[in-house]
Structure 1
Amino acid sequence: MEYTNEDSQTKLQRTMKSRHLFMLSLGGVIGTGLFLSSGYTINQAGPIGTMIAYLIGGLIMYLVMLCLGELSVSMPVTGAFHTYATKYIGPGTGFTIAWMYWLTWTVALGSEFTASGLLMQRWFPDTSVWMWSAIFAATIFLSNAFSAKFFAESEFWFSSIKVVTILLFIILGVGAMFGILSMKDVSSAPMLSNFIGEDGPFPNGFFPIFMTMLSVSFAFSGTELIGIAAGESIDPEKNVPRAIKNTVWRLFIFFIGTIFVLSGLIPWKEAGVIESPFVVVFDRIGVPYAADIMNFVILTALLSAANSGLYASSRMLWSLSKEKMINPSFAKLTSKGIPLQALIVSMIGGCLSLFSSIVAPDTVYIVLVSISGFAVVVVWMGIAASQFMFRRRFLEQGNYVEDLKYRTPLYPIVPIAAFLLCFASCIGIAFDPNQRIALYCGIPFLALCYFTYYLKNNRNRPRAIKKLNDAR
């Protein structure tokens, strides 16, 4: 691939329409966090506890998106999060947030490719997991390397499959819960009996709701992709707010409806991450070839999430390079407007985490979910803090709130509430031994990012001072 001329060498193309932004966000959100880890949450927090956890998670997501809307409409730039944090909090924080978000997706890439290979063994039992993982990794890489428009179009259709499946699942599940549809091996419709059960509505107590908030946040992560793609969207002032509005209310319906059905049809003791709870429900309803259908849908979910993840992580490296925080070569674009070098490095990071998922397959899924969840919550905190500082500086400069084309309501309550709720979800995992490793990995990585930035900055400072003195 040849690079473009110097004038447009580092300028991304605006080719994404409103439907692309909307489905890109849905595609990043509706993945293994809903199809697989929702079973873990039900098992830990119980049915009503899980409903509460997802309601809180949805509220956090909504508050963060309100903050992101104001920022991305005012400054529609690719790699938005770290750019906002750099300008309104500090360059060290911006640098750290960019790498935390890169970590969020590259850590997830490996598990998604490996899980895709494992799913293919259902149909091709004598084949190698690594063979399928390599095929899917190459496919996703080419999807991203061809053009932004091709990537957006493929993600649109990936996401459409998941949306149709979830709607069908909710309709059939509600019918089975209330006796409209019969279930195998069940004499009568469960109605709402599993929400109470013999162990009560909170079988493990109330505290597991807070312990599972990080995996719930991971399930909602991906909505912020709208901000990432704002710099490559057509008419961001109109399309970004529309995509945010459509995404938020649909996600509430999809997630809360899905959790309601799962909790109503699967006793909490039977839920987990060994098998998708969707497969269990479809099988009990008697849907023909339920396991094969869900195998295909989960496969598309994994590939969709990987597609979005590789896009997001490569744009973060591009943005860091554009801001001269890392090697400028990462900002170079192909003739199709693709940051190829950033794409390659992000794919290498995904392959490294793929290796770790092979080494410890029994425990790595929850570990990776927790690390990704911690990283994205830190990014969400950065978005909320950036919006708080942006609005304050905007008003200090003599502007009026009415001048903003998209306004975060109830300022400063919304950004403060978003920040504190995100911080609380990080504290909650300290009490869950299965997810505590996210703090052991995430906090040192956070510190390393700050240390790296300031070490590099201090080394370059004498050179910058010398240039300034020479100029004088």
Structure 2
Amino acid sequence: MKTNQLDDSSSPHELQRKLSNRHLQLIAIGGAIGTGLFMGSGKTISLAGPSILIIYMIIGGMFFFLMRALGEILLSNLHYKSFIDMAHDLIGPAAGYYIGWSYWLGWVLVGIADLAAIINYLGFWLPPGEAFTPMGQAAISAGCVLLVLGINLLTVKLFGEIEFWFALIKILAILGLIGIGGYMVFMQFQPPQGAVASFSHVWSHGGMFPKGATGFLAGFQIALFAFVGVELIGTMAAETKDPEKNLPKAINAIPTRIILFYVLSLFVVMSVTPWNQIPADQSPFVTLFLHAGIPISAIIMNLVVLSSVMSSMNSGVFSTSRMLFGLAKDGQAPQTLSQLSKRAVPAKGLIFSCCFIMAGAALQYFVPNTIEAFTLASSLCVILFISIWSLIMVCYIRYRKRSPELHAKSTFKMPGGVWMSYVILAFMLFALIILSLEPDTLKALMISPLWLVILGVTYQVLYKPRMKKRIQSLKMQ
């Protein structure tokens, strides 16, 4: 598995380095602007009030250090194609098996949550009081999955190009929202029904912590879901041109993106529309324009958030197929999933992942309440990603202990080093404790150990015997 990545770009059996710096930068930004921001921030604001701004700054700071750690490891050994290789090498095969399959399931759950978001956004065009039938929801979900599958089956360069434009639309939309919202505040704009736009709305309706410590803590769950995907560039290491130059650029820009796209945008939203008037079940970005009496802009913004959700699902399908490719190359998944098509994409892995995301269409039939379906899928997803992010930090600690010479000559060292790794691990434990405080997230936390049982059984029954046979055949040769 550990073939030299710098020489395999022409191999028909290896992933190709087709993603340019332009693609990587915009995909990294797109990964930081997900469904959790556009759809989940409405509920997070209802739970935490203006303290959501502090929540995003705390989480954003933690993820900057996490990504610096991931970047240092990946650049220390360009043979690592993703964090499956990294975990397998630095912790052990069981860690590689867990992180690979858990990342795959996590993105499948993101896809299911995205389907719920799509149904919610499409309801914007229905007459008041009407909703899609369960069968209609399932049909729309299935159509979206097939569209994303078709995009990914072509070439990785096309994926990068589509994600580039998806991300550009999101960036321009948020910059436009900040500009228009700021203009409303300075012009003291007053909607037909509501208060005059003012920055003071952020702190004058109960202060920064109107829901107290309980509300502040409750806001972390969906806010964490908004950051799922920020680590996506770690799965693209094998398909990125000049990673030594381009990965640091993408990672170092994370703090600026968090301030601009999360903190500043929501500050403007809550300045135009007081936080206690923002519906929990709607995107606050669309609500801003509706309250301002600009329905055409609200329609445009709704189209933007729809494209954002499709972008998130597109990235999810991409990353799950690459994880399956890595698992199969290491014997941790069926070998057929390691086969590439003539276009150098893991087609069978793409189809396998989409079959499971298609289960989200069934979820739409049995759980027609889109917010309930979104919360369930996103909660399970966050639990899995917390464990993955934690293992990335364990990998960094192991890397520092095992290869001090690589750290010494690294040109992209993680600030804070090992002690900061323990701070991030403590934060991840804190996040798990928070999930136990809310009834809906507690349900997800209680059923999550089932995944550990499934992985433990399959590792012992399927993977270990396969590895013994492989070792024996190598010895015989």
Q: TM-score, normalised by structure 1?
A: 0.90
- Do the aligned residues in 2 keep the contact of 1:367 with 1:434 (CA within 8 Å)? yes
Contact 1:74 1:405 in 2 (8 A): no
Measure the CA separation in 1 of the matches of 2:146 and 2:259: 33
Which residue number corresponds to residue 5 of structure 2?
none
**In structure 2, C-alpha distance between the alignment counterparts of 1:451 and 1:208, rounded to whole Å:** 39
Match of 2:163 in 1: 155
Give CA deviations for 1:355-408 in whole Å, capped at 9, x if unaligned. 11331132111111111111122111111111111122111xxx2634223211
Tell me which residue corresponds to 2:399: 390
Q: How many residues align?
A: 461
2:382 counterpart of 1:380: no
Q: Please tell me whether residue 45 in structure 1 is matched to residue 48 in structure 2.
A: yes
Indicate the SS of the match to 2:435. Answer: helix
Among 13, 20, 44, the residue aligned to 1:10: 13
Partner of 2:198: 190
Change (3 A) 1:187 1:101: closer
Q: Is 1:357 matched with 2:359? A: no
Cα 1:166–1:469 change in 2 (3 A) is: closer
Identity rate, percent: 30
Measure how far apart 1:173 and its partner are: 1.9
Q: CA deviation at 1:307?
A: 0.6
Structural mapping, 1:133-148, within 5 Å: 133-148=141-156
Query: After the TM superposition, which residues 2-81 of structure 1 pair with which residues of structure 2 at under 5 Å, given as runs?
Result: 8-47=11-50, 49-76=51-78, 80-81=82-83
> What amino acid does structure 2 have at the position aligned with 1:10?
H
The residue type paired with residue 8 of structure 1 is: S
* Paired residues for 1:197-212 under 5 Å: 197=205, 199-212=206-219
Deviations along 1:81-129, whole A, 9 cap, x unmatched?
A: 2221111112112211111111111112133235435544555779944
Change over 3 Å in CA distance of 1:77–1:137 after alignment to 2: farther
- Between the aligned partners of 1:85 and 1:370, the Cα distance in structure 2 is 24
* Aligned mates of 2:295, 2:53 — CA distance in 1: 29
Alpha-carbon contact 2:331-2:463 (below 8 Å) kept: no
Distance (Å, rounded) in 2 between the aligned partners of 1:114 and 1:438: 17
Give the deviation of 1:77 after TM superposition: 5.7
Quote how far apart the aligned CAs of 1:265 are. Answer: 3.4
Return closer, same or farther for 1:298/1:414 CA change in 2, 3 Å cut-off.
same
Q: Which residue of 1 aligns with 2:4?
A: none
**1:175 is aligned to 2:183:** yes
**Contact (CA 8 Å) 2:84, 2:99: kept in 1 or not?**
yes
Please say if 1:404 is aligned against 2:400: no
Distance (Å, rounded) in 2 between the aligned partners of 1:328 and 1:79: 17
2:289 matched to which residue of 1? 282
Query: Normalization by structure 2: what TM-score?
Result: 0.89
Residue type of the partner of 2:32?
Answer: V
* Shift of residue 9, structure 1, vs aligned partner: 4.1
Mind listing any 5+ residue stretches in structure 1 that lack a counterpart? none
Which 5+ residue runs of structure 2 have no aligned equivalent? Answer: 1-7
Alpha-carbon shift at residue 447 of structure 1 (Å): 3.7
Look up the match of 1:245.
252
SS in 2 for 1:146: coil
Amino acid of the structure 1 residue aligned with 2:349: A
Counterpart CA distance in 2 for 1:117 and 1:79 is: 35
Contact 2:114 2:374 in 1 (8 A): no
Pairwise CA RMSD? 2.5
Query: Within 2, Cα distance between the matches of 1:328 and 1:410?
Result: 40
Query: What amino acid does structure 2 have at the position aligned with 1:281?
Result: L
Note closer, same or farther for the CA distance 1:181–1:19 as it changes in structure 2 (3 Å cut): farther
